[in-house]
Structure 1
Amino acid sequence: MTTHPTGGRPGPPFDAEAARRLREALGMTPAHVAYGIWAAYGIRVAPDTVTAWERGTASPSGAELTALAGALWCAPGELLGAPRTLREHRLARGMAADDLALRIGVDPAAYARMEAAGTWTGSDRQTAELAEALRLPCRALIELTGRDAKLAELLRGAATTRWQAYVRPVAKMVPLPKPRLQAALQGLHGDYQGLMAASLNWGGGGSSEESGHAGRAFLDGILEAFWARTGGG
């Protein structure tokens, strides 16, 4: 990912190959694209800039990405790689920051600060609205709102103690069907307990140290194990 030449801020994860492929499928030249961006959006870019985007030596800004998508008759998300940040997910949906903020009931200035800092402080209702507006999978929602550490803590508790006690708090964080969450937590509990029992019997013996290493390794990767069991939402 390159930095946009007119600002120090990283651009979205632009898919240069997709831009070239879409342009060629329309029978357009870079000059046609540059003209379309100017005519429809009032943004002046040179044909050489369009070529640089397609070669991956430069990336469009957010406004340029939206204009390029319009010129190529596609959704902005078709010109992006896998979004990784809240800003990138918003750009993939072709939404302006102020529009998204108003839709989810957050002050636009407050939303801009959260997006820039990568720290989400919205309420539960606003979080649910965010997930719906950006069509976020459960895993992306948890990661983007900074709740993955809290979820991991709950999952470790479910694996090491009574998993049934953790169904409700996990369900409050992860909007998935309750039966699926129950099955995932029960499975994690069973995997952990089985691993601990097996590690004490390796080679007919075993030790508490071996058991401890195995247990810590499992708990360190418990988020991945959880998403594997739930399908990532």
Structure 2
Amino acid sequence: MRAAYGLAVPAAAVADWEKGHARPTRVELDALAGALWCTPADLMDSPTSLHAHRRAHGLPLDDVARHIGMDPATYLSAERTGRWPGTESQATRLAHLLRLPLPDLLDLTGRSEPLARHLRDAATTRWQPQVRPVARLTRLPRRPLERALSTLHEEYQTRSAAARNWGEDPPPESAAGVTTYLQQVLPRFWELLRS
């Protein structure tokens, strides 16, 4: 890395990076990726933030902001705070540019929690009124959404009925299962859509 990038990085530092004991700086990561003829994304864990996704694709902040039609300072604020200030069309352009899967896009733009609320409502009450708001958040076709919401409702109701034991206290494990199901409703929703 010294010859190609002018960085004096001792072998011990690279070994620490590999073991996870230390993390390279942005400049060191770029140099290492260049020396290994790969992208920074190939050397990183799965990205979980806007900043990490952008870095994984090796894109400068200004280029991303310009591509999605956002002021660079506003985009930088979104990376730092984790709050998405953009429009739906900007989010769509961002997803296309960074090749974001839908669950990641919803996480990064703050729409996962509203989606989870609608999914919990679909499971615990009637699922039919939740189709339109879920479709609005996800932009997915109606039929697969209806199947997924119906299944969430049926699964929850089955667990809930098992937890009810008229005249007696329900077993603690069945009540815990109902609570756990609602906490895991978002991953279960994505799983149902994939199947």
TM-score class, shorter-chain normalisation, is 0.7 to 0.9
- Displacement, 1:207? 4.7
Tell me if the contact between 1:34 and 1:46 (Cα under 8 Å) persists in the aligned partners.
yes
Give the match for residue 3 of structure 1: none
Q: Does 1:64 align with 2:64?
A: no
Give the TM-score normalised by the residue count of structure 1: 0.72
Shift of 1:221: 2.1
SS at match of 2:65: helix
Q: Runs of 5+ in structure 1 lacking a partner?
A: 1-32, 38-43
**Identity rate, percent:** 42
One-letter amino acid of the counterpart of residue 7, structure 2:
V
Question: Shift of the alpha carbon at 1:51?
Answer: 4.6
RCO comparison, higher one (Cα < 8 Å, 6+): 1
Task: Tell me by how many angstroms 1:106 deviates.
Answer: 0.8
Task: State how far apart, in whole Å, the 2-side matches of 1:80 and 1:192 are.
Answer: 37
Alignment of 1:121-200 (within 5 A): 121-200=85-164
Give the CA deviation at 1:199.
2.4
Structure 1 stretches of 4+ with a deviation exceeding 4 A read 204-214
Q: Which residue of 1 aligns with 2:183?
A: 220
Matched, 1:45 2:45: no
1:215 to partner: Cα distance: 3.5
Q: Distance in 1 between matches of 2:141 and 2:38?
A: 33
- Whether the 8 Å CA contact 1:53–1:59 is kept in 2: the answer is no
Q: Which residue of 2 aligns with 1:6?
A: none
Tell me how far 1:55 sits from its aligned partner: 2.6
Displacement of 1:205 in angstroms is: 6.6
Aligned: 1:85 with 2:49: yes
RMSD over equivalenced CA pairs, Å: 2.5
Kept in 1, the 8 Å contact 2:163–2:171? The answer is: no
Offset, 1:214: 4.6
Q: Partner residue of 1:34?
A: 2
**Cα distance between partner residues in 2 of 1:91 and 1:45:** 20
Long gaps (5+) in structure 2: none
- Structure 1 distance, partners of 2:180, 2:16, is 42
The match for 1:7 is none
Does the 8 Å CA contact 1:83/1:89 hold for their aligned counterparts? yes
